[in-house]
Amino acid sequence: MRTKVVRHTLRGAGLVCAAALALTACSSNSSSDSGSDGGAVSASALDAALNKGGTITVWAWEPTLKKVVTDFEAKYPKVHVNLVNAGTGDKQYTALQNAVQAGRGAPDVAQIEYYALGQFALGKSLQDLSKYGASSLSKQYSPGPWNSVSLNGGVYALPMDSGPMALFYNKKVFDKYKLKVPTTWDEYVSDAQKLHAANPKAYITNDAGDAGFTTSMIWQAGGHPYTVNGTKVSVDFGDAGSKKFAGTWQKLLSDKLVAPITSWSDQWYKGLGDGTIATLAIGAWMPANLSSGVPSASGDWRVAPLPQWQKGQTASSENGGSSLAVMKSSTKQDLAYGFLKFANAGAGVQDRIKGGAFPATVADLNSPTFLNTPFPYFGGQKANQVFSASAKNAVTGWQYLPFQVYANSIFNDTVGKAYVSKTTLSSGLKSWQDASVKYGSEQGFTTGK
Amino acid sequence: MTITSPPAAGRAAPPRRRNRTGLAGWGFIGPFLAVFALVFLAPIGYSIYLSLFQDRLIGGTTFVGLDHYRQAFEDAQFWSGFGRVALFLAVQVPVMLGIALLVALALDSGRLYGKNFFRITVFLPYAVPAVVATLMWGFLYGSRFGLVGDINRTFGVSLPDPLSPGLILASIGNIVTWEFVGYNMLIFYSALRVIPASLYEAAEIDGAGQWRVITAIKLPAIRGALVIATIFSIIGTFQLFNEPSILKSLAPNAITTYYTPNVYTYSLSFAGQQQNYAATVAIVMGVITMIVAYAFQLRGMRKEA
């Protein structure tokens, strides 16, 4: 299936190349075709490129981009955007990696999650956007996402959305079994026990071993397992935050209180719809996915702040969230950056908010219209207030590995054992740590614990 | 049968003509050689070339000589994947070929009602793309919403989860058997069909029963087909990839990124960006496969002689 997608994309890219050839053949100005680093590109040059037109390919799975593309093409009628869904998350990274390695078939623009940016930037697959003056946009974005796109003194992407975590819960299920919305993780565990006892088919949540979820939970618990300083990398899942998470989550796993269903599977959507998965601790980008993936449960779900590790606190973390980056191999980087700016710093942001996406732009996060938007899916709840507060309360200082994509790919080899055998979560995390450190030193990093 | 060439001394051919024949020969074989070099030798050569380098995130590409080969021989993950396919080879292949042989013999016995229908039905799974077959079986195996789950609910039993780490290799074996019994059956069946009827007549005159006919005529006659089918299966097993890589999305904790050598190469190069080491693992695995297949062929052919 995956090969099929790639093949389609390759064919698409071939068409794009043909179109590009045709265009260059009939134009004398070739500034928009430079693939090199070149000097600074002025705003007027960017406008000129956009007005001249051309075709760019965008790899993204974010559903709200469809509307953005329509509006972008309406504003710049000569630019055609070929929006391709080459898979979600690591499936797309695999395809992207393939294309980069092969030297062709890569898109001009790619959606890349914050955790994966380091790996692609370090692998020199992405164009540093400083030459377009992207650094001046820093004040437009909330600090977390901006921090994630500024790497090694460059700007390698523009933040598209952010994923401050919140607790999504099925109110119908909570009302039916008279559960209280948990404010601490201990209450969460006791809700899990009550729910599963009352209905053995129902679970408080699903978890089949998800690296992104685990790291976000440790982040909220105040853990700093990854320390990255240039090429010095250390991994330590023995710190207090990691231990807090592992201890609590182990209770849920040992008593089989979480459904062993992989996220984004058919079973998952089914469970979210029929109430057998009662909560999700996940990023604020989830509403769009819920309303498109589980339309039948409209009105059942609500949003609450993330349960706390210590009663009365308001700590939070980011889960996922992604950016749009310009590929270094692109021959139409000016057009590509024009699209980025439109989608992530221009009119596209509003399109995406309307579609249910969660912005990374400060102005929108604080705007009364945004904060007071009722969500029909959540029974009219003004959910953005919860998300916005979460965005401000994200624990600072979290870092991902510069090879987090690889580390996440071996998560199920190591920590995954805790989900299907007697291995404990903490010993699973220890083997994950060892394997990550081993890979890091093989890749030339100075590693430690 | 041998073709006796005329004694060269009798008629000395003019050397000029022989040269021309040689050139014409190259002309005929040329297109083949060109394609062969392009699609076969070049990729292998490139893989070997790749395996001698190392491309690191920090430090870039360096020449490392045979270091990767040394690493492969000490790589516990690689050998655990290899052990898994070796176990698969020892258990699944005999089962699959045994069933295929039984079906072929049954079809050939002429005692089966609706033979053509039976033959096409057994062969049909082979026509289903492996990806589709695996997805289909993956749903059947599902202990929540799949067939296994339905059986559990309907009969109030609790079947072991086919997608659990302990059972998943057997579950994969079942899928592969389902897919390839028909294919192997067809190889055996076509070999059985070319046995001259006169042998059976002679056997009947000698008073041989069905069992005797099978062991004394049919099996020796199709030994070549058996050897070929086994070699195909050895190669197929060592290259096991589709089934585990698709089931991984259903059972992420049961199938590791180094579950089989091919899955391992895949994750090395696409998740770990270690194309060079992946090339090494692929070459080592290729050589092992060649040795095992060749050893089996030698053995199989010696028996025949």
CATH of the domain at B286: 1.10.3720.10
What is the pLDDT averaged over residues B186-204? Answer: 93
Q: Which two tokens stand for residue A215?
A: 């790291």
Looking at the complex, report in whole angstroms how far the Cα of residue A417 sits from the nearest Cα belonging to chain B.
Answer: 6
Q: Which of A213, A264, A412 should one mutate to test binding to chain B, selecting the residue with the greatest count of B CBs within 10 A?
A: A412
Higher pLDDT, B150 or A83: A83
The partner residue sitting opposite A420, judged by closest CB among B57, B165, B257, is B165
- Tell me, yes or no, if B253 comes closer than 8 A to chain A by beta carbon: yes
Looking at the complex, report in whole angstroms how far the Cα of residue A342 sits from the nearest Cα belonging to chain B.
Answer: 31
- Same domain flag for B161 and B32: no
With respect to residue B245, please indicate whether it lies within any of the assigned structural domains.
Answer: yes
Say how far apart CA B169 and CA B180 lie, in whole Å: 16
The partner residue sitting opposite B252, judged by closest CB among A98, A270, A416, is A416
With respect to residue B244, please indicate whether it lies within any of the assigned structural domains.
Answer: yes
With respect to residue B13, please indicate whether it lies within any of the assigned structural domains.
Answer: no
Q: Do the Cβ atoms of A316 and A306 come closer than 8 Å?
A: yes
CA dihedral A347, A353, A356, A357 (to 10 degrees): 90
With respect to residue B56, please indicate whether it lies within any of the assigned structural domains.
Answer: yes
Hey, are the CB atoms on A445 and B164 less than 8 Å from each other?
no
Say how far apart CA A190 and CA A178 lie, in whole Å: 13
- Tell me, yes or no, if B70 comes closer than 8 A to chain A by beta carbon: no
Instruction: Give the pLDDT band (50/70/90) at residue B21.
Output: low
Q: Which two tokens stand for residue B303?
A: 């028996």
- Same domain flag for B183 and B53: no
The number of residues in chain A equals 449
Structural domains of chain A, ranges and CATH numbers in brackets: 2-160+324-364 (3.40.190.10), 165-317+372-448 (3.40.190.10)
Owner of token pair 């401050």? A164
Q: Which of residues 173-232 of B touch A (CB under 8 A)?
A: none
- Tell me, yes or no, if B273 comes closer than 8 A to chain A by beta carbon: yes
- The pLDDT score that the predictor gives to residue B20 is 60
- Same domain flag for B238 and B147: yes
What residues of B are in contact with residue A266 (Cβ under 8 Å)?
Answer: 145
- Same domain flag for B149 and B188: yes
Say how far apart CA B182 and CA A108 lie, in whole Å: 46
- Same domain flag for B169 and B281: yes
Say how far apart CA B206 and CA B73 lie, in whole Å: 57
Q: Which two tokens stand for residue B281?
A: 């693992």
Q: Residues near A445 by Cβ (< 8 Å), separated by ≥ 6?
A: A231, A232, A233, A402, B57, B58
Specify the DSSP element, H or E, that contains B301. Answer: helix B275-304
CA dihedral A350, A356, A361, A366 (to 10 degrees): 100
Q: How many beta-carbon pairs under 8 angstroms link A with B?
A: 70
What residues of B are in contact with residue A421 (Cβ under 8 Å)?
Answer: 165
Q: Which two tokens stand for residue A127?
A: 């164009």
Task: Report the Cα–Cα distance between both ends of chain B, in Å, rounded.
Answer: 14
- Same domain flag for B130 and B41: no
Say how far apart CA A128 and CA A96 lie, in whole Å: 18
With respect to residue B20, please indicate whether it lies within any of the assigned structural domains.
Answer: no
B118 CB burial (10 A radius; 0-12, 13-18, 19+): middle
Say how far apart CA B99 and CA B122 lie, in whole Å: 11
Say how far apart CA A129 and CA A280 lie, in whole Å: 35
Instruction: Search chain B and give the residue with CA nearest A439.
Output: B272
Say how far apart CA A96 and CA A120 lie, in whole Å: 10
The partner residue sitting opposite B58, judged by closest CB among A101, A416, A445, is A445
Q: Which two tokens stand for residue B175?
A: 């899928």
Integer-rounded Cα radius of gyration of chain A: 22
What residues of B are in contact with residue A445 (Cβ under 8 Å)?
Answer: 57-58
Q: What angle do CA B78, B83, B85 make, to 5 degrees?
A: 100
- Same domain flag for B44 and B107: no
Q: Residues near B68 by Cβ (< 8 Å), separated by ≥ 6?
A: B51, B52, B54, B276, B277, B280
pLDDT at position B9 over 80: no
Query: Last residue of some domain: B34, B63, B92?
Result: B63
Hey, are the CB atoms on A209 and B165 less than 8 Å from each other?
no
Instruction: Search chain A and give the residue with CA nearest B165.
Output: A420
Q: Residues near B282 by Cβ (< 8 Å), separated by ≥ 6?
A: B47, B265
With respect to residue B5, please indicate whether it lies within any of the assigned structural domains.
Answer: no
With respect to residue B52, please indicate whether it lies within any of the assigned structural domains.
Answer: yes
Specify the DSSP element, H or E, that contains A194. Answer: helix A185-198
- Tell me, yes or no, if B257 comes closer than 8 A to chain A by beta carbon: yes
Q: Which of residues 209-248 of A touch B (CB under 8 A)?
A: 209, 231
| Residue stretches of chain A with pLDDT short of 50 | 1-37
Q: How many domains does chain B have?
A: 2
- The pLDDT score that the predictor gives to residue A27 is 35
Q: Residues near B119 by Cβ (< 8 Å), separated by ≥ 6?
A: B107, B185, B186, B189
- State pLDDT tens for residues B214-243: 999 999 999 999 999 999 999 999 999 999
B140 CB burial (10 A radius; 0-12, 13-18, 19+): middle
- The pLDDT score that the predictor gives to residue A326 is 95
Q: Which two tokens stand for residue A9?
A: 């994309």
The partner residue sitting opposite A443, judged by closest CB among B56, B145, B249, is B56
- Same domain flag for B55 and B73: no
With respect to residue B146, please indicate whether it lies within any of the assigned structural domains.
Answer: yes
- Same domain flag for B52 and B81: no
- Same domain flag for B39 and B77: no
Instruction: Search chain B and give the residue with CA nearest A210.
Output: B252
Closest CA to B263 of B81, B107, B103, B122: B81
- Same domain flag for B183 and B243: yes
Distance set, CA A143 to CA A2, A148, A266, A398 (Å): 35, 9, 35, 12
Q: Do the Cβ atoms of A324 and A129 come closer than 8 Å?
A: no
What residue numbers bound the domain in which B213 lies?
Answer: 67-304
Say how far apart CA A140 and CA A150 lie, in whole Å: 14
Closest CA to B163 of A264, A420, A422, A259: A420
